[in-house]
Structure 1
Amino acid sequence: MSPAAGPAGPAPTRTLAFVESPVQLLNVLEWAHAHGLSAEVRRPATDSGDDTSPDGAAGAARDLLTVVVLAPTDPMTRGQLRRMAELARDEGYEVRWEEARGGASAPFRTIGALTGRLRQAERVVMGDPFSRYVQLLLTITGAPDLVVVDDGTATMEFTAQLSRGERLVRWHRKGGRPGPRDLLFAPVSAAARRRLAPGAAGRDGRRVEVFSSMPIDTVPDGVSVTANRFVWTRTRFGPPRVTTGADLVGTSLVETGVVDCDRYLAAVRALAGAHGAGRYFAHRRESTEKLHRLAVETGLEVVRPELPLELTARRGPIGRTVLSFPSTVVHTLPLALEGTGVRVAVCDIDPSWLTPTASPRAEGFLSGVTGTARGVHRVAGTALPGRQAPQAP
């Protein structure tokens, strides 16, 4: 008679995380750290069936987290995602790289390869609830736990739209009637919105969590919010060497059609001159043509970070002052650089800089991004194009 088997440990929770950008993957790692997914509890059982933790304790709860990268086509984004995937593997997580946009048949191959795991998943983590890809995947899984991690300032708009019962539309898209593709995809988008709005807490056993460093004033019924304090980033990297100069953070507002290119370059030139900035950290979606022009016209050294700026700044070196236009980093950098003495300053977007095709919501949204940022300074007394310099008190 064989010896009696030891007590079985709790069944592992199968978690799938879908990311399409480096920042989303960073925030998945922050979420895992905040929820205690340490190296010991997430290690899968060995082939021999041994399910003991390194200190010999049997039956530890395990969370089998698999990060699925739905790879974009943009080269800069792909490069940063590959570096972030390396960090995730270093932390002990499984990472699947899916060429989800590699041709007309790619979505069918990707969905076919993931269907089994989607149906087994007990928790799905997503970085972009506006993504049609993610919304389609949500129709396949029956996971009772859904988690939305930050995809930058879009999280603020997501929770607001969810609370109002509106269709999920990115803030910078031009207002008006939906196009043919929107109408074709509308049933899928509506189904995803219903999954992400559980209503009364605990109804149908569904749980939705938003893990965010953004200020979220309106929380949909039944949705819980967990603060992202960038603890993993501060633990894993730094503190950085802080230089005496200033650095400027780029934005893709020109590329998304929100801000006029000439006005943007003039503002960058004025900011750099007023604050003595020497480097310009480019956003991963900024065009090569614009960056070349910016370097020539401003004299700034253009830096293309290989990791999200929160990690780049934490690794250093970084200027004592970091200047930014309204963007995610005015919320995240003060957290990532907490205790370093670095000052984050934000410059508002003047309405005269907006393009004629900018969304009607653009001005209010960008103003809200700046106004709700905690731990940042407002740029004052700088003669920027289209703006009157503030009067001295």
Structure 2
Amino acid sequence: MTSAPTPHPDEEYVVSRSASTLAFVESPVQLLNVLEWAYAHDAAPTGARPTGAAPLLDAVPPQRDRRPGPTPAADPPRIVVLPPTDPMSRGQLRRVASLARDEGYDVHWQEARGGSGAPLKALASLAAAVRGAERIVVGDPFSRFVQLLLAPARAAELVVVDDGTATMEFVAQLGRGERLRRWHRTGGGPAARARELVYAPVSGTARRRLTPGARRRVEVFTSMPVEALPGMELRVNDFAWTRSRFGPPRLTRGTDLVGTSLVETGVVDPARYLEAVRTLTREHGVTRYFAHRRESPEKLRALSEAAGLEIVRPDLPLELIARRGPIGRTVVSFPSTVVHTLPYALAGTGVTVAVRTVDPAWLTETASPRARGFLAGVTDTARDVRRLPAQAAPAAG
């Protein structure tokens, strides 16, 4: 049995008192995007406010001179952090939570994983606040815990903020009427399918809660290129809060490479990935590798030794790290969230964001059928990026 992680001294446990706007986040990026959402909607508790709401998204990504439209002001959200168990994610969450508290937000820390009784204890602690909330903001609609929280919700308004490129798949699945399932997940064995069957009513309820209707407003606040469903409101997350608080950054002469967790999620073969990093390092003068928080120390050590890279383990989301600097004049990434977010966060700084597609030959035998098309879509729909020319797939081994 896994024991619950020991709380950090600065962490707080959530109280059940009601709030008109309640936000649930499980990752550093989700928490950052809640701050961006509040700033864009004139709902930040302190500091400078924007002159208007973020613009509505069209099917085509907006131009930089797009005029913002009006939107009602929102109350500052009470933010509930539901941390994962891995130390890197928890560390980044603490740092972003500290930034949020400095901005005047009410932030609470609720353990919901790690121990056998943690999920039930958390659900019991949060139930009254969920029922009393008029607006609920979530960062990961695929999260089973968030789906459980939505079951008793009576909120007339639900908001989904980005949890990376998963937002693209969320809107697509909702539009097709499919059950919510992460794009890189495969079917699993009989036990996994049995669990899915038992959990199906909860997942179905969450899907209905997240579908716009006559009595429910649904907003997606995103940097991703998604197309609105009937009745759904999409608004641009252009990282206005980040740009207002940090930078512009000092630029280095080298090229930085952004790491990915595609190996950890079983999508890309480790040997193929290592060789791809070596090739990018050699051809583009990469000097630093910004590790994804889920990348293992063993993998990072192998990358450093094979490519001679300086490995950087950021203590904040990359959008904040890049904006604060120093950062390379060119930032290279494989298909990932940052090819959509960094052009916003680094607008006007002179930094070029480049994307290197994932060759289909790099995919593992266990990669989901959706992997190839999804990763190609992430690359093809990125705006204001330089697309590196495709090359022959590097040989494994």
Which TM-score tier does this pair reach, normalised by the shorter chain?
Answer: 0.7 to 0.9
Amino acid at match of 1:160: A
Counterpart position of 2:379: 370
SS at match of 1:179: helix
Q: How much does 1:176 deviate? A: 7.3
CA deviation string 1:237-284 (max 9, x = no partner) = 000001111000000000000000000000000001111110000000
Counterpart position of 2:22: 16
Gaps of at least 5 residues in structure 2 are 1-17, 49-72
CA deviation string 1:201-242 (max 9, x = no partner) = xx12x100000000003x222211011011001001000001
- CA distance in 1: counterparts of 2:388 and 2:237, whole angstroms: 26
Counterpart position of 1:112: 124
| Structural RMSD (CA) | 1.9
- CA distance in 2: counterparts of 1:365 and 1:85, whole angstroms: 31
- CA distance in 2: counterparts of 1:21 and 1:38, whole angstroms: 20
Counterpart position of 1:194: 208
TM-score (norm 1): 0.87
Equivalent residues in 2 for 1:339-350, closer than 5 Å: 339-350=348-359
Q: How much does 1:383 deviate? A: 6.2
Amino acid at match of 1:196: L
Q: Does 1:255 align with 2:261?
A: no
Q: How much does 1:62 deviate? A: 7.2
- CA distance in 2: counterparts of 1:383 and 1:305, whole angstroms: 31
Q: How much does 1:39 deviate? A: 2.8
Counterpart position of 1:385: 394
Of 211, 214, 222 in structure 1, the residue corresponding to residue 224 of structure 2 is 214
Q: How much does 1:34 deviate? A: 0.2
Task: Report runs of 4+ in structure 1 exceeding 6 Å deviation.
Answer: none
Q: How much does 1:102 deviate? A: 3.1
Higher relative contact order (CA 8 A, sep 6+): 2
Q: How much does 1:184 deviate? A: 1.2
Decide whether aligned partners of structure 1 residues 250 and 148 sit closer, same or farther in structure 2, where only a CA change above 3 A counts: same
TM-score (norm 2): 0.86
Of 198, 201, 204 in structure 2, the residue corresponding to residue 184 of structure 1 is 198
Q: Which moved more, 1:359-368 or 1:373-382?
A: 373-382
Q: Which moved more, 1:169-178 or 1:115-124?
A: 169-178
- CA distance in 2: counterparts of 1:72 and 1:13, whole angstroms: 24
Note if contact 1:69-1:95 (Cα within 8 Å) is conserved in structure 2.
Answer: yes
Counterpart position of 1:25: 31
Q: Does 1:354 align with 2:363?
A: yes
Gaps of at least 5 residues in structure 1 are 1-11, 43-60, 388-393
Q: How much does 1:115 deviate? A: 1.2
Aligned length: 353
- CA distance in 1: counterparts of 2:118 and 2:87, whole angstroms: 18
Counterpart position of 1:297: 306
Q: Does 1:332 align with 2:338?
A: no
Q: How much does 1:71 deviate? A: 1.0
Counterpart position of 2:52: none
- CA distance in 2: counterparts of 1:154 and 1:170, whole angstroms: 7
Counterpart position of 1:280: 289
Note if contact 1:13-1:64 (Cα within 8 Å) is conserved in structure 2.
Answer: no
Equivalent residues in 2 for 1:30-179, closer than 5 Å: 30-39=36-45, 63-175=75-187, 179=193
Q: How much does 1:38 deviate? A: 3.3
Counterpart position of 2:243: 234
Note if contact 2:44-2:76 (Cα within 8 Å) is conserved in structure 1.
Answer: no
Q: How much does 1:13 deviate? A: 6.6
